[in-house]
Amino acid sequence: MTNRNDESRFLNEYAKVRVDYSGQTLDEADLLSHPLGQFQAWYAEVVDLGIPEPNAMVLSTSTTSGAVSARHVLLKEVDRRGFIFFSNYQSDKARDIQQNPSVALTFSWIAIFRQVLISGVCEKLSDIESATYFKTRPRGAQIAAHASEQSEVLLSRTELEERYVELEREFEGSEIPKPEHWGGYLVIPRSIEFWSGRSSRLHDRLRFISLNPQPDLSKAQDWRIERKSP
């Protein structure tokens, strides 16, 4: 059993971690006029620095009853419409999105003291777009999309592996079709915040606010820029 002294020690261990952020300044004069360009510029810097999984983003969803969950997914495309990822349509995240399409995305590039915080509405991509992307996936990932009943309870790891091997034999020598239960999602942003860590916790926070329900991320006139207090 953990006693009060142990609890106090652990709390002190967490509380004493101090990092004085020394990121680059983020001024209105330096911000690009539209969020697509700004995101692509920051993303290119992350890639050039060799930061692992630069396209990893936290997807936060909630049910209609208010139960919130979050997990990392991988960004596969960003264009003038929004941010695109792929998943199993029978997963927990998919069930949440079906109930409540309002979602949030968070890119956390803490190695360079930067974040991108996105809130918006999520909708399914067309079957054609999903199928086109599915064909580009490694064969192993294609089989896994068929094998995994994502978020369902497994009796053991062996059950999943046996299912994978069975499908590997079934699809041997043939093209693997996209499963009906798998495809893409588009997050249409309502706001996109660019966060840059600064010394003494006086961080820079500049946010693009959408001026219409279907904004074009590449058009400055579709967005209003505001600075938020840290």
Catalytic residues: 201
Distance of CA 224 to the CA centre of its chain: 23
CA distances from 211 to 81, 190, 192, 216, 222 (A): 14, 8, 12, 10, 5
Q: Tokens 């199993």 belong to which residue?
A: 88
Amino acid at residue number 71: R
Tell me the C-alpha distance between 229 and 206, whole Å: 9
At which residue do the structure tokens 């590997």 appear? 168
Relative orientation angle of helices 139-147 and 157-170, to the nearest 10 degrees: 120
